[in-house]
Amino acid sequence: MIRALFLFILGFTLFTSCNQSNLKYEKLYFDFDSLITAQEGAVVKNKLRLSKVVLLDGKQDQSASPVDSAGIAQELDVFRQLDLINKPLYRNAYQVSDGVEDSHSNLTLRKYTTTRQSPIPWVNFYYQGNFHDLKKIESLYRENNTLYSTERRLLLEFDSSSGKLLLSRYQLVGFQKMILNDTVYFSVEGVLGR
């Protein structure tokens, strides 16, 4: 029951927010589509298992299973929404700060912060030494319209110990308020491993 309700909410959100996702445009800031596609392939190629915990309005559901290409594509599709920062509407809407030392780790931070109204007010990239050695991406996604309002904190964590970037963990935490309904709070955490 929890899973069905969560999938409905997630599916509705993806349907309403990805209507124009097939349009081609220059990736001015960061190519999230390519990153997610590459990680989907790497997860399947490395035959990783997904351990997932879903918390929906205080009810918890846990699962663990091998990952196939369709399953991981469904799990990571929500992170493609971050590609919104590259759409022509947001050209030059983000200020980029690079080389900022993270006060909580030994990582360097590249911050993309919007200078005007956007569903994605910020994206933070954490890396070690070189930007291509990404360790973590975190962001906030907000959307309000006449049918619903939603807010999601998005997190992707990577392991590069094998010499290649490989997704090790992802997390979504947020809420969705649909018209004439209560607010639904949710959390999804997935850990990928052997």
pLDDT, tens digit (0-9, with 9 covering 90-100), for 91-137: 899 999 998 898 889 999 999 999 999 999 999 999 998 888 999 99
What residues pair up with 128 in beta bridges, in sequence order? Answer: 130
Both tokens assigned to 187: 């959390």
Phi, psi dihedral angles at 4 (to 5 degrees):
-65, -45
Both tokens assigned to 15: 């349907």
pLDDT higher than threshold 70 for residue 11: no
How many angstroms separate the CA atoms of 173 and 185, rounded?
A: 8
